[in-house]
Amino acid sequence: MAKISVLVDTDIFIDYFNASRFHALFDSARFTLYYSIITKKELLTKPGLRDSERESILVELTRCRLIPLSDSIAARYSDLRRLHPSLEKGDALIAATALVKRLPLMTRNKRHFQMVAGLTLFGE
């Protein structure tokens, strides 16, 4: 069976760490999980983050694949910010990453992204 590739939004990681949700996604060999550089930044700069929490986050991220910022992602980000001024910067970068890499986005915040044409959304 072919693996399913998906870009994971920050909120899904947070629910996984804080509420032990989405184990089927993170613990299954059926999925190849990707994350944006902005997700790494959002996870590691949370106010009050303890060293043990930071270490747990970094360990979990090694199980996933980082998509670094590229010229094509930056250009798509710029387009999205111009087309959708209400789209938050972090969300625009995550959406741009998903679009450029042609990955569906797993998020609980579908309403944040629903205006982005061509973006496939999974989640609640």
Q: What is the pLDDT of residues 90-122, one digit of tens each?
A: 999 999 999 999 999 999 989 999 999 999 998
CATH (domain of 45): 3.40.50.1010
Q: Does the pTM of the predicted model rise above 0.85? A: yes
pLDDT reported for residue 105: 97
Number of domains forming the structure of the chain: 1
Alpha-carbon distance of 42 to 109, in angstroms, equals 15
Q: Is residue 15 part of a domain?
A: yes
Alpha-carbon distance of 44 to 122, in angstroms, equals 24
Range of the domain at 90: 4-119
Q: Is residue 124 part of a domain?
A: no
Q: Is residue 70 part of a domain?
A: yes
Average pLDDT over residues 78-91: 95
